Amino acid sequence: MPKRGCFPFPNNNPPQTSSLINDPLVVGREVDVAANELANLLIFEKVEEKCRVFAITGMKGIGKTTLAQKIFYHHEIENYFNVKAWACVTQTYSEIELLKLIIRAAKGSHGNTKKKIELQNILSNCFTSGQRVFLVLEDVRRADVWNDLLRVPLHHANISVRVLVTTRYEDVANDMEVAYTHQVKELSIESSWDMLCRFLDKEKELAYGSLKELGVKILERCRGHPHAIKSMARVLKKIFTWEEWQNVLLDDTWSISSLLESDP
Positions in the binding site for Mg ion (CB under 5 A):
64-65
> Distance (Å, rounded) from C-alpha 19 to C-alpha 39?
15
User: 236 and 248 in contact (C-beta within 8 Å)?
Assistant: yes
Using only the alpha carbons of the chain, give its radius of gyration.
21
Buried b (16+ CB within 10 A) or exposed e, 22-32: eeeebbbebbe
153 part of the interface to ligand ATP, by CB under 6 A: no
Buried b (16+ CB within 10 A) or exposed e, 168-184: beeebbeebebbebbeb
Nearer of residues 65 and 120 to Mg ion, judged by Cβ: 65
H-run or E-run covering 56: strand 51-57
Select the binding partner of residue 230 from ligand ATP, Mg ion, none (C-beta < 5 to 8 A, by kind).
Answer: ligand ATP
Q: Which of 26-34, 97-105, 170-178, 201-209 is the region at the interface with ligand ATP (rule: CB under 6 A)?
A: 26-34
> Distance (Å, rounded) from C-alpha 177 to C-alpha 18?
25
> Measured from the CB of residue 185, what is the shortest distance to Mg ion in angstroms?
16
227 part of the interface to ligand ATP, by CB under 6 A: yes
Q: Which of 20-28, 140-148, 150-158, 175-183 is the region at the interface with ligand ATP (rule: CB under 6 A)?
A: 20-28
Strand blocks (E) in 168-247: 180-183
Q: Which of 53-61, 153-161, 170-178, 212-220 is the region at the interface with ligand ATP (rule: CB under 6 A)?
A: 53-61
62 part of the interface to ligand ATP, by CB under 6 A: yes
Contacts of residue 63, defined as CB under 8 A and 6 or more positions apart, other chains included, come to 31, 184, 187, 226
52 part of the interface to ligand ATP, by CB under 6 A: no
Nearer of residues 64 and 110 to Mg ion, judged by Cβ: 64
215 part of the interface to ligand ATP, by CB under 6 A: no
> Measured from the CB of residue 56, what is the shortest distance to ligand ATP in angstroms?
8
List of residues contacting ligand ATP (CB under 6 A): 25-28, 31, 58, 60-66, 139, 168, 195, 226-227, 230, 264
